[in-house]
Structure 1
Amino acid sequence: MKLIAYICSIFLFISCEKKITPQLPKGDFDYLIGHWERTNEQEGKKTFEIWERPDSLTYKGIGYTLKDTDTIWKEQMQLIKRDTTWQLDIQSGKEPVVSFKILKKTVSTFLAHNPTHDFPTHIQYRYFDDTITAIVSSEEMEIPFIFWRVE
């Protein structure tokens, strides 16, 4: 009887043991990680962004717009740390990669800048309450993208 109680207690101990999954340390742009849907999109379209963090120096994103079931726009995004500075690289379709230097960064915002690019010259992300506001702008124009988490 003692043997059965001993075996049962071992199984109980093993089943209650906390499983530890290795995780990356908290990172600079972790608030971006996940699936996001644009809330202020034109009727008949849906725009999404999906962000992941494959390693401690990189965040990868994809943005795309659907009209019905057709993808009408798509871009690849990457936040990457080079030496001590972060930069945002964006590639739309077959266009060359456009790089933006991160000028300002807080725990929930960043501002990226490329004065030589025609539009946008600035890209700003703000995170608050599971909502992301991304504003792409130049001196002449500003376009807000408001996303909420969908996962």
Structure 2
Amino acid sequence: RCKAANFTPMHKSILAALLCTLVACGGGTESSNTTVPGPPAPPLNATFDRLIGEWNDVQADGNTVFHEQWTRTNDSLYTGLGFVMSGNDTVFIEHLTITTDARGTRYSARIPSQNNGAFVDFELVHGSGDSLVFVNAAHDFPQRISYTPLPEGWVVVVSGMQQGKARTERFRFDRRRS
């Protein structure tokens, strides 16, 4: 039989720490639905910062060019502009943001001629160094937007269902050279 008087101060500290751990973890053998967190993911800002700059995707015809331009406004807001040029004509334009707040991280797109000019939000469902995936299942098209970084660019895929059929558009953006 052990007596408390036989424990050194170090033994008492270890025993107290173990007791606290058992109490904090429930002390029982019941299974729990909680998961043990792994190593922390790299900060999303590091991945979002890779978007900063001007990006082009020149189509096979050589005449049509998709553009995206991103800036970091502050720690929780990135602002972008997407547009398509066909020759010297701008044939499409959209205003983009990536916002992080208490509700999470959202990619928002506003096409002035659609949705009464309002932004459409897509929630971040996967964000890491290997890709950014945003989803809005209720949107007509696209429902999913993903950005996958490359050494000198991005692959952007917009996908979803449109009029009952699967549709995917893929873009390869390279950094615009001055």
Tell me how far 1:44 sits from its aligned partner: 2.1
The structure whose Rg is larger is: 2
1:144 to 157, 160, 170: 170
- State the Cα distance separating 1:84 from its structure 2 match: 5.7
Of 149, 153, 164, the match for 1:131: 153
Aligned twin of 2:100: 81
% identical aligned pairs? 23
> 1:94: how far off?
3.5
Residue 107 of structure 1 and its aligned partner are, at CA, apart by 2.0
Q: How many residues align?
A: 126
Deviations 1:23-73 (A, max 9, x none): xxx644011000100144654211110000010001111000111111110
**Structure 2: any 5+ residue segments left out of the alignment?**
1-44
Structure 1, residues 11-30: CA drift from partner, whole Å, max 9, x if none? xxxxxxxxxxxxxxx64401
- Counterpart in the other structure of 1:45: 64
For 2:80, the equivalent position in structure 1 comes to 61
For residue 143 of structure 1, what is the amino acid of its counterpart?
Answer: E
TM-score, normalized by length of structure 2? 0.66
Partner of 1:92 in structure 2?
A: 111
- Provide runs of 4+ in structure 1 moved above 3 Å: 39-43
* Cα RMSD for the two superposed structures: 1.6
Instruction: Tell me the TM-score normalised to structure 1 length.
Output: 0.77
Q: Residues 20-31 of structure 1 correspond to what in structure 2 (within 5 A)?
A: 27-31=46-50
Structure 1 residues not aligned, in runs of 5+: 1-25
- Code of the residue aligned with 1:65 in structure 2: it is V
CA shift for structure 1 position 149: 0.3
Say whether the 8 Å CA contact 1:40–1:146 is kept in structure 2: no
In the alignment, the residues of structure 2 paired with residue 122 and residue 85 of structure 1 have an alpha-carbon distance, to the nearest angstrom, of 17
